[in-house]
Amino acid sequence: MAQPKAFTRGQTQVLYRHLPQAIFEHDDYGLCKVETVALSEADINREALFDALTDALSRWTNPRFADKFPDPRDPSRRVRYIVGEPREVRFAPYPLLFRCRKCERAVRYNDLVKRGSPPGKCQCGGALVRLRYVQAHNCGRLEELRFPDKRCPKGHLPEHIAFYDPGRVRQARWYCKVCNSDIQGLRITPCKCAYNDSLGPGASQYEKYLKVVPTGDPSLYIPHTLAFVNFSEDEEGQVRNAKGALGLMLARTWGLLPQPVAKVVKERERTTAADNDDSQAKLADALRKVDPNNPLVKEYDEKRAKPVGQEPLDRVSELLDNDAALLAGPPRRWLVEHTTLLDKTDRSDSAKVAAMLRRRSDEEGALQIEDAQRKAKELMGIEVIRVVNDFPLALCAFGYTRTARDPARTMITPFPVDDKGKIPIFALASETEALWFQLDPIRIVAWLIENGLASGSVPTDTARAWAWVYRVLPGLRQSSFEPDYTERASVAVRTLIHTMSHIFLRRIEWSGFAPSSVGEYLIPGSLSFILYANRYADTKIGGLTTLFEQRLGTWLWDAIQSGQECIYDPICGDEGGTCAGCTHREHNCPLFNRELSRAMLYGGPTTQSSELADMEMRYGFWAQAWKAAPQE
CA distance 111 to 505: 53
| pLDDT value of position 312 | 93
CA 391-396-397 angle, 5° bins: 150
Give the Å distances, CA to CA, from 260 to 344, 500, 547, 564. Answer: 8, 29, 28, 40
> What per-residue confidence (pLDDT) applies to 202?
63
Residues 6+ apart with CB under 8 A from 285: none
Burial class (CB in 10 A: 0-12, 13-18, 19+), 359: exposed
The closest of 465, 627, 437, 619 to 532, measured between CA atoms, is 437
DSSP 601: H
The dihedral through the CA atoms of 148, 149, 154, 157 has a sign that is positive
Residue among 44, 402, 67, 66 at smallest CA distance from 227: 44
Q: Determine how many CB atoms are found less than 10 A away from the CB of residue 25.
A: 12
Output the pLDDT for position 303. 62
Residue 560 Rama label (left phi>0; alpha psi -120 to 50; beta): alpha
pLDDT at 631: 47
Helix (H, G, I), strand (E, B) or coil at 436: strand
Q: Residue 184 burial by CB count (10 A; 0-12/13-18/19+): exposed, middle or buried?
A: middle
With a cut of 70, which residues of the chain have pLDDT below it? 1-9, 63-65, 200-206, 272-282, 284-285, 287-288, 296-306, 536-541, 629-632
Q: Measure the CA–CA gap between 233 and 44, rounded to whole angstroms.
A: 8
Which amino acid belongs to residue 98? F
Strands 423-439 and 81-93: parallel
| Side-chain half-sphere exposure of 100, counting CA atoms within 13 A | 19
Return the pLDDT at 305.
60
Q: Give the pLDDT of residue 414.
A: 94
425: β partners: 83
Task: Quote the CA–CA distance of 598 and 280 in Å, as a whole number.
Answer: 62
Q: Is 117 helix (H, G, I), strand (E, B) or coil?
A: coil
> Amino acid identity, residue 307?
P
What residues does 127 pair with on adjacent strands?
Answer: 121
CA 253 to chain centre: 22
Q: Can you state the angle between helices 310-319 and 462-472, rounded to 10 degrees?
A: 60
Are the C-beta atoms of residues 235 and 408 closer than 8 Å to each other? no
Residues 6+ apart with CB under 8 A from 422: 79, 80, 81, 82
Please, is 357 exposed, middle or buried when counting C-beta atoms within 10 Å of its C-beta (0-12, 13-18, 19+)?
buried
What is the pLDDT at residue 632? 44
Cα dihedral 215/221/222/223 (nearest 10): -130
Given this model, what pLDDT does residue 204 score? Answer: 65
Q: Are 173 and 131 within 8 A, CB to CB? A: no
Burial of 346 (0-12, 13-18, 19+ CB in 10 A): exposed
The CA–CA distances, whole Å, from 457 to 300, 430, 491, 624 equal 43, 44, 21, 20
pLDDT (0 to 100) of residue 294: 75
Q: Is the peptide bond before 166 cis (omega within 30 degrees of 0)?
A: no
Q: What is the CA radius of gyration of the chain?
A: 30
Decide the pairing of beta strands 604-605 and 616-617.
Answer: antiparallel
Where b means 16+ CB within 10 Å and e means fewer, 416-428 reads: eeeeeeebbbbbb
378-411 pLDDT, tens digit each: 999 999 999 999 999 999 999 999 988 888 888 8
92-131 core/surface letters (b: 16 or more CB in 10 A; e: else):
ebbbbbbbbeeebbbbbbeebeeeeeeeeebeeebebebb
Nearest to 161 by CA among 143, 170, 173, 169: 173
Question: Which SS3 state, helix, strand or coil, does residue 243 take?
Answer: coil
- Counting Cβ atoms within 10 Å, is residue 18 exposed (0-12), middle (13-18) or buried (19+)? buried
Give the span between the Cα atoms of 301 and 318, in whole angstroms.
Answer: 24
How high is the pLDDT of residue 281?
Answer: 65
Q: Measured between alpha carbons, how far apart are the two ends of the chain, in Å?
A: 68
